[in-house]
Amino acid sequence: MPTFSDLSRAAYCLRQCYYVRRDDDRAPPPEVEARRRLAFEYADRRDAADAILERLPIEPSPATYRAALDRLAARDDWDELADPSERSVRLHGKDCRGVADKLLAGDPPTPTFVSPGTPPESGVWKPQRVRAVAIAKALAWEREREIPRAIVEYPAYGVVRTVRLTTRNRAAYRRTVRHLRELDGPPPRVDDRSKCESCDYRTECGVKTHSLRSLLDATRR
């Protein structure tokens, strides 16, 4: 049964997911864990001094980060975001399994996924939308009730986004589950080669990538 991270990775690049599953290479690097811990420190960081914030793995300036946390504090679910009722909740759904980083109390409860990455200007990246839907559906399967939404947190930026289980998001999830079920060998390479630049498997995959410098040099020839 695929994990939530399998689904997220497959939505990003099915070929990369194949290599990761083959090598059982799922452990996140230490810097990822350091960023995720920020999601459990919101309340302590709202009034933190610049010197303290500058030592943390945040991306904005200290002042911008504090302002972002102040905006989070205005949310109705702030108390639960800052001090969730349940943490690291293991879920086993019909199609997938994994961990919800937080489970916010409510009727119904709301699961969250903590991302170490950068948020888009609005909304949530597609791989994270698929993962959020997977978490919500697994929780719904366990609790035998509808879970209409999940939350994606970007704690390095103090940003929280909601993913609703719309028809479009459910369809993207089902499509990704189907692709994983049919995966029995290396799938075709992706057309969007920008995804390959930071991929640890690009050499094994055989994709030719080019640095910005090489591309600029080529235009001068």
Expressed as residue numbers, the domain containing 17 is: 4-188
Q: Do 105 and 206 share a domain, yes or no?
A: no
pTM of the model: 0.86
pLDDT, position 152: 98
Cβ atoms of 113 and 151 within 8 Å: the answer is yes
Neighbours of 21 (CB within 10 A): 17
Q: Do 166 and 198 share a domain, yes or no?
A: no
Q: Do 206 and 137 share a domain, yes or no?
A: no
Q: Do 106 and 15 share a domain, yes or no?
A: yes
Mean pLDDT, each 10-residue run in order, the chain (221 residues):
92 85 75 93 96 96 97 96 96 96 96 96 96 98 96 98 97 94 76 71 64 38 36
pLDDT, position 14: 86
Q: Do 160 and 206 share a domain, yes or no?
A: no
Q: Do 196 and 181 share a domain, yes or no?
A: no
Q: Do 22 and 74 share a domain, yes or no?
A: yes
Beta-bridged to residue 114, according to DSSP, are 153
When divided into structural domains, the chain yields a total of 2
Cα–Cα nearest to 110, from 135, 129, 128, 88: 135
For 42-94, the DSSP string reads HHHHTT--HHHHTTSS-SS-HHHHHHHHHHHHTSTTHHHHHS-SEEEEEEE-S
pLDDT per position as a tens digit, 3-41: 999 999 999 888 888 888 788 766 777 788 999 999 999
